[in-house]
């Protein structure tokens, strides 16, 4: 659009940006600025809290790359995805998890929707509210995704409204994952993680030589057994010196929410989501322990990722363990997520469906 309002206050939105060759959309208000890579999965690559100039989303050491300018050196399905993984927040549909073949189609890690360009349309642009609708179609499964991002004046919470539609003429299983990765400075050993009462599951096998969790553990939040016989309190975030890399999963929540609060800065990040759709909260614990490609010991981040299904093996694994998410032919499923920063000191006791955080 050539004649968008160019306000300097209230809510603002623009789709006239390009970052490293990729069409980029920026939404902002008085409190936050959200950057979306429309040409790369409609990934939310940055979420900045303006009053303290704090970035909440983790960025990989290699950052944003334009895939048009690079020829992959191998055809490995995991490496190709990782080569262009910039961190941030991906909508992963219809295949969440590692590479596999299902319905006769080969899927690389985390599917295809977050490696392709999405259409972007500004649907509301006023000082009080801005909204952008992003849409795309999966390359290898007849799934269409619509994702509308909205900010309102005076609120730090981003509302994400998503609809997944099965355009096929057969019922199809999917794994739907919201791949949210958080990093410093809010993520630190001074931070605490809060979730509703739930069960905690460690991955069935160690995912890395530096994994410290006892494989296949199941117990009540927040304690998890470690391989060395100790008990790890999941409310506490370890420092990078922990040098661990693990996967765990929280499930059985009566409500879908989590909050990470840094007790030194009193800055936090909260997410609310529908627990009836996202029955698992994946917890990717990359606390300095990933060596070799692609991490090389450089990374300190936590993925806290609402998901429909258990395990990161993809659709086939979810079908086998009974957690695949089925969408009937011609049907749609719609959800809403609220996510953003908050401030406070004390213990987080609740995050409501609109993302409002209670700290006591």
Write out pLDDT tens, residues 270-287.
999 999 999 999 999 999
Distance from C-alpha of 167 to C-alpha of 288, rounded to nearest angstrom: 42
CB 338 within 8 A of CB 354: yes
Distance from C-alpha of 345 to C-alpha of 171, rounded to nearest angstrom: 47
- Lowest-confidence segment of 33-42, 63-72, 108-117, 314-323 by average pLDDT: 63-72
* Main-chain dihedrals φ then ψ at residue 131, nearest 5 degrees: -145, 140
Distance from C-alpha of 110 to C-alpha of 278, rounded to nearest angstrom: 16
- Backbone CA torsion sign across 232, 237, 239, 241: positive
Is a pLDDT exceeding 70 seen at residue 303?
A: yes
- Show the tokens assigned to 138: 């999966």
Q: How many residues does the chain have?
A: 360
CB 186 within 8 A of CB 269: yes
pLDDT tens by residue, 227-263: 999 999 999 999 999 999 999 999 999 999 999 999 9
CB 185 within 8 A of CB 345: no
What's residue 49's pLDDT? Answer: 98
Distance from C-alpha of 78 to C-alpha of 294, rounded to nearest angstrom: 10
Is a pLDDT exceeding 90 seen at residue 338?
A: yes
Is a pLDDT exceeding 80 seen at residue 1?
A: no
DSSP 109: T
Q: List helix spans (H) across the chain.
A: 77-83, 315-321
Q: Residue with structure tokens 């005076």?
A: 154
Cβ of 290: how many Cβ atoms within 10 Å? 22
Domain ranges, ordered by start, for the chain: 12-359
pTM recorded for the entire structure: 0.97
pLDDT band of residue 2 (cuts 50, 70, 90) is low
C-alpha closest to that of 200 among 257, 302, 281, 123? 281
DSSP 206: -
The burial class, CB within 10 Å (0-12 / 13-18 / 19+), for 104 is: exposed
* Main-chain dihedrals φ then ψ at residue 242, nearest 5 degrees: -60, -35
**Which CATH class name applies to 12-359?**
mainly beta
Q: Under 8 Å CB-to-CB from 276, ≥6 apart: which residues?
A: none
Distance from C-alpha of 327 to C-alpha of 324, rounded to nearest angstrom: 10
Distance from C-alpha of 123 to C-alpha of 53, rounded to nearest angstrom: 28
Is a pLDDT exceeding 70 seen at residue 138?
A: yes
Q: List the end-to-end C-alpha distance of the chain, in Å, as a whole number.
A: 46
Q: Residue with structure tokens 């300095």?
A: 288
Return the ∠ at Cα 236 (arms to 289 and 55), rounded to 5°.
Answer: 75
């Amino acid at each position: 659009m050539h004649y968008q309002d160019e306000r300097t206050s209230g809510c603002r939105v623009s789709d006239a940006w390009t970052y490293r060759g990729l069409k980029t959309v920026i939404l902002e208000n008085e409190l936050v600025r959200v950057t979306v890579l429309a040409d790369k999965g409609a990934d939310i690559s940055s979420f900045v809290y303006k009053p303290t100039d704090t970035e909440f989303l983790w960025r990989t050491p290699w950052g944003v790359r334009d895939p048009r300018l690079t020829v992959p050196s191998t055809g490995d399905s995991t490496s190709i995805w990782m080569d262009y993984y910039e961190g941030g927040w991906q909508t992963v549909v219809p295949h969440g998890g590692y590479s596999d073949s299902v319905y006769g189609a080969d899927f690389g890690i985390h599917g295809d929707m977050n490696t392709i360009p999405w259409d972007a349309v500004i649907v509301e642009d006023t000082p009080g509210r801005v909204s952008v609708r992003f849409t795309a179609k999966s390359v290898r499964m007849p799934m269409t995704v619509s994702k509308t991002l909205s900010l309102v004046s005076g609120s730090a919470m981003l509302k994400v409204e998503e609809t997944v539609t099965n355009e096929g003429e057969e019922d199809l299983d999917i794994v739907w994952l919201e791949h949210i990765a958080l990093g410093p400075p809010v993520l630190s050993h001074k931070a605490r993680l809060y979730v509703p009462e739930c069960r905690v599951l460690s991955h069935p096998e160690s995912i890395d030589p530096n994994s410290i969790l006892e494989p296949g553990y199941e117990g009540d939040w927040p304690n998890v057994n470690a391989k060395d016989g100790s008990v790890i309190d999941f409310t506490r975030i370890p420092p990078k010196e922990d040098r661990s890399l693990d996967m765990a999963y929280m499930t059985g929540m009566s409500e879908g929410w989590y909050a990470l609060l840094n007790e030194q800065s009193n800055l936090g990040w909260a997410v609310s989501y529908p627990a009836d759709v996202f029955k698992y909260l994946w917890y990717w614990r990359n606390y300095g322990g990933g060596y070799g490609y692609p991490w090389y010991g450089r990374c300190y981040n936590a993925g806290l990722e609402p998901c429909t299904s258990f395990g990161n093996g993809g659709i086939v694994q979810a079908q086998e363990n009974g957690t695949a998410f089925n969408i009937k032919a011609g049907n749609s499923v719609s959800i809403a997520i609220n996510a953003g920063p908050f401030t406070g000191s004390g213990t987080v006791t609740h995050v409501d469906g609109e993302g409002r955080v209670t700290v006591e």
